[in-house]
Amino acid sequence: MDFVHLHLHTEYSLLDGAARIKDVVKRAKELGQNALAITDHGVMYGVVDFYKACQEVGIKPILGCEVYVAPRGMTDRTPKVDDNPYHLVLLAENEEGYRNLIELVSRAFLEGFYYKPRVDKYLLAQKAKGLIALSACLAGEVAAHLLAGDFKKAEEAAGEYRDIFGKDNFFLELQDHGLPEQKPVNEGLIKLASRLDIPLVATNDVHYVERADAEVQDLLLCIQTGKSVGDPDRLRFGSDQFYLKSALEMARLFPDHPDALRATVEIASRCEVKLSFGEYHLPEFPVPEGHTPASYLRELCYAGAKKRYGDPLPPEVEERLAYELQVIERMGYPPYFLIVWDVIHFARRNGIMVGPGRGSAAGSLVAYCLGITNIDPLKYGLLFERFLNPERVSLPDIDTDFCFEMRDKVLEYVVRRYGADRVAQIATFAQLSARAAIRDAGRALGMSYAEVDRVARLVPGEPGMTVARALEESPELKELYEKEASVKKLLDVAAKLEGIPRHASTHAAGVVITPEPLIRLVPLHRMPDGTVATQFTKEGVEELGLLKMDLLGLRTLTVIRDTLRHVNRRGVKLDLEKIPLDDPATFELLCRGDTIGVFQLESSGMRALLRSLQPSCFEDLIALVALYRPGPLGSGMVDDFIKRKHGLLPIEYPHPWLEPILRETYGVIVYQEQVMQIASRLAGFSLGEADLLRRAMGKKKPEELAALRSRFVKGSVERGVDERLAEEIFDRMEYFAGYGFNKSHSAAYALVAYQTAYLKANYPVEYMAALLTSVRDRTEKVALYVEECRRLGIKIFPPDINESERDFSPTPDGGIRFGLAAVKNVGEGAVEAILQARREGGPFRDFADFCARVGGRALNRKVLESLAKAGAFASLGHTRKEILESIDEGLKIANRAKAKKQQGIQICLFQNMEDFGGGYRLKFNRPNGEEFPRRELLRMEKELLGLYISGHPLAEYRDLLRLLTDVQVADLAEMEEDAEVKVGGMIVGMKRLRTRRGEPMAAVYLEDLTGVVEAVLFPRVYQECRACLRPETVVLVQGKKGGSEGERLRLVVDEMRVLDPGSAQLVLYLPHKESSLLGELKEVLRRYRGSCPVYLRLPGESALRRVPQDYWINILSPALGCLISLVGEGNIKILWNKR
C-alpha cells in the first residue's frame, strides 16, 4: 500500500526536529514515497529549501506548518491560561491555501505571540480556503480533550474544525509511537470520526530520519532546555518511533484502518503548490512625469557622468556608459538602480556618510555616475560584467555601507517610502559548527568542560570544518577517537548535530522591499527585539525574485564622520574625496605597520604583511586587501608577490599580451577580474562569457571545465597563441581562480583603509578620539587604543566635569579626554544634565556649585561616587577622598536646589553658596588635601572606566613585554582558535578547578596593558606552574588561543613562568658602528643605570662584548624604549639567568 508522510519536523523546528531536509527527502525517495510534507512548529523557515530538495529527487513537496492555536483568542495573554496552545497541522492545497498559510503563520508572530506564535479559530475561519487541516498529535485540541477524559469537549472541538475547514478538508489524525496515552486517544478519534463523519488520516510525528537518530533528537531537546541526559526531570519523547517509517511499517501500525493510510495519498494528490523561481517582483519607483524608469535612469547617469568627468564626456566614458545602460535596460533593471540610487541619495542629502562601495557593484560605471559607488571603475580596471553579466540573468546585488549610528535613519526612510507592510529585514540562522556541536553535545551528555575542551581544541578552526574532516586532518584527535569510548561517543553525536540551525536572528544588513504587502508573498516573524523579518533567508528571498538590498552599518564610517567633525572644529575643512592617494605620511605609516585602528589593516598578521610588502602605491593596498586571506597566505602566492615587488624574484609574463593585465600585481594573478581579462584577451571570450568561466573555475565542475578548457585553447590558438602555452595558461588561471578575489570589493575597501590611514597619519588626535568613541562599550578595545595613543605620544586625560564632552574628545594641548558617558553608572540623563548646566552657566566653580546647578533629579549617590572615583572632579581642586566624604552634603544641596528650581528660583544667579538655602555652605572635613594611596586610585579608575588612566601597574613593563611577547591580549579576539601565542601580563584573579577525574587545574585571569584573558591551566601545566600563581605576579605565558564563550577570551596555557627583571640580560645587535649611534647608545645606558647586564654584538663580529657595569641598565626604566628607537626592535634580545 502507498503512504505519504504528512506530519514532518525538519531541523527548522529549532532544537526539536532532527530530520535534516536533504536527508529526510532522500530517505523518502529511497522508501518509494512519491510525496512528502513539511510541517515545522509554528514556522515556515525551511519551505524553500524543502521544495527545492523535493524537486531535485523527483517527489512532490507538500507545504505546511504545525501551527499553535490559542485556547481562547490570539490576543489573550493570561499566565497559566493562554501559555499552552494547541497544535494543528495545516497543509496548502493550492496557491490560495499557500498564501493563506503564509498570512496565518505571519500574523501568529505579529499579533498572537505569547511564548509561541499563535492563531485562533476566528482567524482560521477567515483564512481556511485552500487549506487542509489535520488534528495533530497529543497536543492537538481534540486529542488533549480525549486525553483529559472529556469526550464532549473533544466532539465540540472536532465539529468546530470541520465547520471551519469544510467536511472534506479536516482529518482526525491517528498516531502510534508506542506511547500508552495514544491508545485511548486513537479509540476516541475513531469513535468521533464515525459520529461526526470526519475522515481519519494516519501519520507519524516525524522528528528524525532513522530510528537510530532518536538519541540525537533527545540531545537537541537537552540543548534547547539547558539540561543534560542524566537529568530525571527533563523534557523527553517517550519512545524511539518518531522517525520516517516505510509504508509497510505504517500499515502494520494501523491494520484495521486502511482508509486512514489511503487518505495520506489522496491528500497528497490534492496538494498542488508551485513556487515560482526566476520571476522578479520589483516595487515600482515613481519617476517624474514624462519619464520611464529607463529614461530617468539615463538622465541621472549622464548628469552624474558630467560631474565626474566633465563635459563633453571622454569617449571611453561615453562608450562604457552607453553599453552598461543598454544591458541594464535590456534586462529590465532600471527600477532597481533607481531604488538603490534613491536610498543613497537620501543618505547623502541628509549628511549620512556612505561608503565608496562594496562587492562587485564598484565595477559599474552607472553606479559610479549615480553616486551609488565612489571609486572610478575605469581608473582601476574594474569590470561591469563581474557585477552584472548580460549572459546570465540574475538580479543585481548592490550592497552599501552607511554610518553605523545612522543606519536606522536609512531604514526608516525606506519604510516611509515604500510602506511598513512592504519592507522587512531578513532572517538568518546560526548553525552549529563542528566545535560548537562538540561543546553542546558535551554539555548535553554531562561531560566536564575540561574533557570537552580538550577534544574541541583539536578540531582545526578554519571555516567550514566538519567532525569528519577534523578526524582526517588531526592525528591526535583520531587517536583519542579510536582509544577513548567517551570521545568516540562525543564526536559521533557532534557529527550528527553539526550544521543544524540553533536559533534564528536578523541578517546584519539584508532588507527586502516588495510591490505588494509582504504578508502575501513571504512568511514573517518578529524577533525578540521587535524587528519584523522574513522567515526565509536571503537566498530564499532572492530565489523567489524579491528585491533584496544589503544596507550595512559600518562603524568605520562613523569614525571617519566624527574625525572630520573634530578636524573641522579646528577650522580645517577636509574633504576626503580630494585627499591625495600618494600622501607620504600615510605610506610611511603603512610601511611601519602602525595600523592599529586602521580599517582592514589592524590585525597583527596584516601589520606584519605591511612591513614585509612596504606598499608604495594605492594599487599595492588594493592587492593587499585581496591577498590577506587564508587561501593566498597558505598558497605561497603572497610571498611571491612580495619578492617580485622587491626584485627578489623576476617578474615574468607567460605571454606578452598578459603584461598590461598583470603588471600592477607583479605578474601574479590576484583578482578574479584578471582571470576574466586573460580569457577575453587571449581566447576572444566576451567578458560575460569570461565571467561564466570564472564561476566555473570557482565551482570546479570537471565536465563544465573540460568544455571551457577546449574552447579557451581553441580560441587562443586561433588568435596565434601556442597550443601548449594556452594549456599552461589555463592551468595557471584555474589554480589562481581558487584564490582570486573580487577586485571591485578590494578597491572599494582599500579606499576606506587608505582614508583611515590618512586620518591617523595626519590627524592622529582627532582620529584616535573618534576611534575610541566608536568602541566605548568594548573595554578591551578601549584599552588597546588607549595604549596605542600612549605609543603615539598622545596624552590620555580622565573624565572631567568641566572639560569632558559626552564622548572622547581632543583637548587643546593635543591630548584626548575621556567622555562623561565612559564612566560606569553615569547614564545619559546625568551626562546631559551636566553638559546642559555647563552650557547655561559656564564651568563649575566647586563641588557645591556642581551639585546645585545639576540638581537632584539627575544626581544620586551612585552617580556622584562614580564621578568622584573616576577623578572627574579633579579640576575643582579637591581630592577624590575629599569629594567622596562630602557626598551626603552634596546630595542635600542637590535636593534643595531641585526644590528651589521648582519654586522658580535660578540657582546660577547666586554669587556664592552662602546666598543659597539660608546660608548653607559645604565645608570639606579634610582641607589639607588628603588622598587615597596610588594603588587604590588606580583600582578606582579600573572599576569605573574599565581601565587604568593615570597610570598602570604594568606601565614600567611596557617595553619589556613588547620585546618578549608576540601579541597583546586585545589581538587575541581576531586570531584563529588554536593559534600559538606568547602573552605577558599580571595575574589579577584565579579560580581553582577540578577535572571530572578529580585532578586539580585552574583558570587564571591575566591582564596586560590592553585587556584581560582567562588562561586555563590543565592538570599537568597547573602542577608545573603552581609556584607562579600568586596575585599581582607578572608572568610570561606560551599557549594556544582557546574557544571563546560569549565575549570572554580564553587562552590554554602550555608554559608559564614568572617575569623576573632581576634575572634578565640585555643583548644589543648594532646595525653599524657610526660614532653618532655609539654616542647616543652610551648616553642612554648612562642615563638609565641599573643592575641588568648589557652585551653588544658589533657588525662583522660573532662574539658578544659585555659592557662595563657602569653602563648596565634598569630594565624597567624608559631605557628599552629608547634602545628600540635607536637600533630597532629586531636588534634587541632578552636572555635569562637561571635561578
Which phi-psi region, left, alpha or beta, contains residue 948 (left: φ > 0; alpha: ψ -120 to 50)?
beta
Q: In sequence order, which residues have a C-beta less than 8 Å from that of residue 974 and are 6 or more positions away?
A: 603, 604
Residues paired with 987 in a beta bridge: 1006
| DSSP run (H or E) holding 958 | helix 958-964
Residues paired with 816 in a beta bridge: 796, 810
Q: Where are the beta strands (DSSP E) in 1008-1100?
A: 1012-1017, 1034-1041, 1050-1058, 1064-1069, 1089-1092, 1094-1097
Report the pLDDT value the prediction gives residue 1, as an integer from 0 to 100: 64
- Let me know: does 363 contact 382? Beta carbons within 8 Å: yes
- Could you give the CA distance from residue 428 to residue 994 in angstroms, rounded to a whole number? 39
Q: Where are the domains of the chain?
A: 21-270, 293-428+506-556, 433-498, 557-756, 797-945, 955-1059, 1062-1136
**Burial label, 249 (beta-carbon count in 10 A; 0-12, 13-18, 19+):** middle
* DSSP letter (8 states) at residue 970: G
- Let me know: does 1096 contact 1082? Beta carbons within 8 Å: no
Task: Name the architecture of domain 955-1059.
Answer: Beta Barrel (2.40)
Identical fold between 21-270 and 433-498 = no
Task: Name the architecture of domain 21-270.
Answer: Alpha-Beta Barrel (3.20)
Q: In sequence order, which residues have a C-beta less than 8 Å from that of residue 698 and are 6 or more positions away?
A: 737, 738
User: Hey, what amino acid is at 907?
Assistant: I
Record the cell numbers describing residue 444, joined without a space: 548535553
- Could you give the CA distance from residue 267 to residue 260 in angstroms, rounded to a whole number? 11
pLDDT, averaged per 10 consecutive residues of the chain (1139 residues), comes to 92 90 96 96 96 96 97 92 94 97 96 94 96 96 95 96 95 95 95 95 95 87 83 81 95 95 97 89 91 96 96 95 95 93 95 92 95 95 90 83 94 93 92 86 85 84 83 87 89 88 86 93 91 92 90 94 95 92 96 94 90 95 91 86 94 93 92 92 91 84 85 93 92 84 93 97 97 89 89 93 95 94 92 93 91 83 93 90 89 81 53 41 57 86 86 86 88 81 91 81 89 89 88 91 68 91 90 83 91 90 89 90 87 80
CATH of segment(s) 433-498: 1.10.10.1600
**3-class SS shares of the chain: helix, strand, coil, % to 5:** 50, 15, 35
Three-class SS of 1084-1128: HHHHCEEEECEEEECCCCCCCEECCHHHCECCCCCHHHHHHHHHC
Rg (CA), the chain: 35
Closest C-alpha to 519, from 543, 548, 546: 546
Q: How many CA atoms lie within 13 A of 63 on its CB side?
A: 30
- Could you give the CA distance from residue 175 to residue 396 in angstroms, rounded to a whole number? 48
- Could you give the CA distance from residue 609 to residue 614 in angstroms, rounded to a whole number? 8
How many other C-beta atoms can be found within 10 angstroms of the C-beta atom of residue 814? 11
- Let me know: does 652 contact 667? Beta carbons within 8 Å: yes
**Burial label, 891 (beta-carbon count in 10 A; 0-12, 13-18, 19+):** middle
| Cis peptide upstream of residue 312 (ω within 30 degrees of 0) | yes
Three-class SS of 242-298: CECCCHHHHHHHCCCCHHHHHHHHHHHHHCCCCCCCCCCECCCCCCCCCCCHHHHHH
Q: For residue 304, which phi and psi values (nearest 5 degrees)?
A: -70, -35
- Could you give the CA distance from residue 362 to residue 748 in angstroms, rounded to a whole number? 7
Q: In sequence order, which residues have a C-beta less than 8 Å from that of residue 102 and are 6 or more positions away?
A: 44, 519, 520, 521, 522, 523
| DSSP run (H or E) holding 431 | strand 423-431
Record the cell numbers describing residue 171, joined without a space: 482529518
Q: Give CA separation, 784 vs 324, 774, 775, in Å.
A: 46, 13, 10
Q: Give CA separation, 1124 vs 1068, 1077, 1120, 1135, in Å.
A: 10, 13, 6, 16
Q: Does the pTM of the predicted model rise above 0.95?
A: no
Closest C-alpha to 1016, from 480, 453, 460, 476: 453
Residue the block writes with cell 624597567: 1116
Residues paired with 828 in a beta bridge: none
Q: Measured between alpha carbons, how far apart are the two ends of the chain, in Å? A: 84
Report the pLDDT value the prediction gives residue 899, as an integer from 0 to 100: 76
**Burial label, 1020 (beta-carbon count in 10 A; 0-12, 13-18, 19+):** exposed
Closest C-alpha to 526, from 411, 425, 399, 414: 425
Strand-by-strand arrangement of the 1105-1106 sheet: 1105-1106, 1094-1097, 1064-1069, 1132-1136
